Structure 1
Amino acid sequence: MTVTAVGAGVRVRRFKGEDQAAVLDLIHRDLLLGRPVVTAAVLEQSFEQDELYCEVLISSTGEVQGVVSWADRAREDAGQVLWLHCRNDEQHLAETLLRHVLAQLGRRTVYAYAEPTVLAPVGLPVRNRPGTRRALEVCGFSGTDHARYLHHYLDTLSPRLYTIADLTPCPDAPGWQLRLRDRDGTRIGEACISPPIGGTAKLEWVSLAPQHRNLGHILLEQCLTNLADRGIQHVTAQLAAPDHPHHEAALQLHEEVGFTVIDHLHTYTRLRGGSITKAALFRSRRVVDTQLDAHRLPRISLSGENPASNRDEDQGRDAEAESQDCKASAQGVVAAAVLGP
């Protein structure tokens, strides 16, 4: 087992089974409101990836002070910092771990918090983790505002009945799908919710038919009411960053039904030598977008038909609906487009 001394009796070594309790404690201290508790099984699952390393920072007294998970993407001439946690989010501890990882990766481009993991979505919550944010910046990383993390505590919900709403298992992905119809049977919109974990569910995406652009609040209210009836206490969602053309409309809609912005999620990039230009930052953002595209949920047709089998007939209509839809990726980045006045 490789052990690296990093000064004053402090060392970095590979994660061992005996570190599990201390590492879980560090992770839980950084959990955002509404995030499920990380179990030992989930932590073990986070290690199931090729070319991935998990290392801990050990004090002179033998205590685990921090932990970092990183990946060597040698074939892509790049590296990834997947997640990092340290005692009290202290900047000097996070900086020590980051410098250790960068020393292993050499002068490659390194991305941080740019991939979803079983522990967390894409992005570092910069409000909750200011020490880690400053450590990344000191180590030459440049941040990109990726998304907003929202939370709704369903005990505050005032039920609003709307009788024609169906909550069923998603046909092509884990979780639930809510379909809202008008009283004449016309489809209004849909929402997809992740499988609940420990009383917490995640709103993955919502979509509205263009002619019902004013009914987004009803769709979300019915979604939340149905979840509350099933014992769900917390619902989380992610909205695309403010530079997305529909961010303000999406944020207003979610706040109207009781969501609160808890944190801002940022991704980070450190290019060769630690410098970054605007052009390089744009390219790095495209890398993150490409990674997200690989995990996106398939779009569910508002018509209830298979889009592939009706492609010629519905091409024009589907193109219009696609440009109007309010939807999100499997990582939960909601892009609300049809939330008119």
Structure 2
Amino acid sequence: MVLALINADRLPGQPGTCAHMLAEALAGRSQVDAGWWAELDAPFTDVVQDETGAVLGVVSYAVRPSDGAGLLLWLHCREEQQPAECLVAHVLDRFGARTVFAFEFASALTLGLEGLPVRHRPATRAALEKAGFTGRDLWRYMHTGLPVAGLSHAEHRTVEECEDPPGKRLTVRDTGEVVAEATISRPVAGIGVLWWISVAPAARDKGLGLALLGTALDLLRGLGASEAILFVDDDAPAGDPERGRTAANRLYDLAGFTEVDRLSSFTRRP
């Protein structure tokens, strides 16, 4: 019943959650954002039921000993308002007077969904805001089918295994210097993730980014992916204008990626 609740919220570009993925999440493990999960105490996972015993919602939460914060890790309730509010209130009651963060990082239930997809999860968002949480917009979550026709390909690239995140890293060099790189996942249920793509400032505006993207998507296709997803924010990280996202967003739009949703995290302070 819990798996059915979780899969009712499945987004385009996400595989169905299986029993193994759920077991990893219940144990407090995840391949993505693994370091942040390692900082937590063992998570609790509770359900809310109706009078017949049917499960209406499920929530998982944990404490981070380093700062005493509470983490609402994941929540599913078929986007019904009353169970969402019940579960959020339950977590806050368990945490007491401490700062609580919700949907801060990805769980094993998804392929890297770091945040709550706010358009697809309106009841959960409303329950958090009603309980005093403030949202912070993080990422665009984007998706495309494979193959993507008409993209060029990067020359002189190398491909090697990558451990964090697990997958492959593509590197383009010019006179020995790395001028562009991309990281992709190993496909899961026919879905691959483009984790990262970057081009050195001196090599920009020459079509290299689009060519590297074409190469990365072709490699995902060759590994068995029929869909690709990615996560990108809108602005450069504070104090780092060389990592601006305007060009990256334009690149993904040109390659045919479409925005599925926006991902947000939430904070509630006592």
TM-score past 0.5 threshold: yes
Bigger radius of gyration: 1
After TM superposition, give the deviation of residue 179 of structure 1 in Å: 2.6
Bigger drift between 131-140 and 120-129 goes to 120-129
Equivalent residue of 2:193, what SS? Answer: strand
How far apart, in 2, do the equivalents of 1:134 and 1:172 lie? Answer: 34
- Pair 1:105-2:84 in alignment: no
1:184-229 deviation per Cα after TM superposition (whole angstroms, max 9, x unaligned) = 8875411111222111111111121333212211110111122223
Per the alignment, residue 134 of structure 1 pairs with 126
**Residue among 137, 146, 159 paired with 1:154:** 146
Determine what percentage of the aligned residue pairs are the same residue: 41
SS in 2 for 1:268: strand
CA gap 1:143/1:164 in 2 versus in 1, 3 angstroms: same
User: For the Cα contact (< 8 Å) 1:28–1:37, is it kept in 2?
Assistant: yes
Q: Which amino acid aligns with 2:159?
A: L
* CA distance in 2 between partners of 1:97 and 1:172 (Å): 33
SS of equivalent residue, structure 2 residue 228:
strand
Say whether the 8 Å CA contact 1:157–1:225 is kept in structure 2. Answer: no
Q: 1:261 aligns with which of 259, 262, 265?
A: 259
For 2:38, the equivalent position in structure 1 comes to none
Correspondent of 1:189 among 156, 169, 180 = 180
* Paired AA for residue 116 in structure 2: L
Task: Find the aligned partners of 1:187 and 1:100 in 2 and give their Cα distance.
Answer: 50
Give structure 1 stretches of 5+ with no counterpart: 1-21, 273-341
Distance in 1, Cα, partners of 2:10 & 2:192? 15
Hey, what does 2:229 align to over in structure 1?
A: 236
Structure 2 vs 1, CA of residues 171 and 31 (structure 1 numbering), >3 Å: closer, same or farther? closer
Kept after mapping to 1: 8 A contact 2:153/2:212: no
Rounded Cα–Cα distance in structure 2 between residues aligned with 1:126 and 1:31: 13
Query: Are the equivalent residues in 2 in contact too, given 1:159–1:225 (CA < 8 A)?
Result: no
Following the alignment from structure 2 to structure 1, what is the Cα–Cα distance between the partners of residues 84 and 165? 36
Establish whether residue 23 from structure 1 lines up as the match of residue 26 from structure 2. Answer: no
Shifted more, 72-81 versus 187-196: the winner is 72-81
- Give CA deviations for 1:275-332 in whole Å, capped at 9, x if unaligned: xxxxxxxxxxxxxxxxxxxxxxxxxxxxxxxxxxxxxxxxxxxxxxxxxxxxxxxxxx
**Aligned-partner Cα distance in 1 for 2:266–2:177:** 44
Kept after mapping to 2: 8 A contact 1:51/1:73? no
Structure 1 residue 249: Cα displacement: 2.2
Work out whether residues 194 and 204 of structure 1, in 8 Å CA contact, stay in contact via their aligned partners in 2.
yes
Instruction: Map Cα deviations across residues 233-282 of structure 1 (whole Å, 9 max, x no partner).
Output: 1111111244756232221111111211111010000100xxxxxxxxxx
Assess, with a 3 A threshold, how the Cα gap between structure 1 residues 125 and 103 changes in structure 2: closer, same or farther. same
How many residue pairs are counted as aligned between the two chains?
A: 249
- Give the stretch that moved more between structures: 136-145 or 212-221: 212-221
Q: What residue is the counterpart of 1:7 in the other structure?
A: none
Relative to structure 1, is the Cα distance of residues 172 and 90 closer, same or farther in structure 2, using a 3 angstrom cutoff?
A: closer
Residues 159/218 of structure 1: CA separation in 2 closer, same or farther (3 Å cut): closer
How big is the shift at 1:151? 1.0
User: Retained in 2: the 8 A contact 1:167–1:226?
Assistant: no
- One-letter amino acid matched to 1:237: L
Aligned partner (choices 270, 273, 289) of residue 268 of structure 2? 270
Consecutive unaligned residues of structure 2, counting only runs of 5 or more, are 29-40
Letter in 2 for 1:85: H
Contact 2:186-2:223 within 8 A present in 1 as well? no
Q: CA RMSD in A?
A: 2.2
| Cα separation, 1, equivalents of 2:84 and 2:164 | 40
Aligned to 2:47: 56
**TM-score, normalised with respect to structure 2:** 0.84
Alignment correspondent of 1:179: 171
Would you say the 8 A contact 2:153–2:211 is kept in 1?
Answer: no
Structure (1/2) with the larger helix percentage:
1
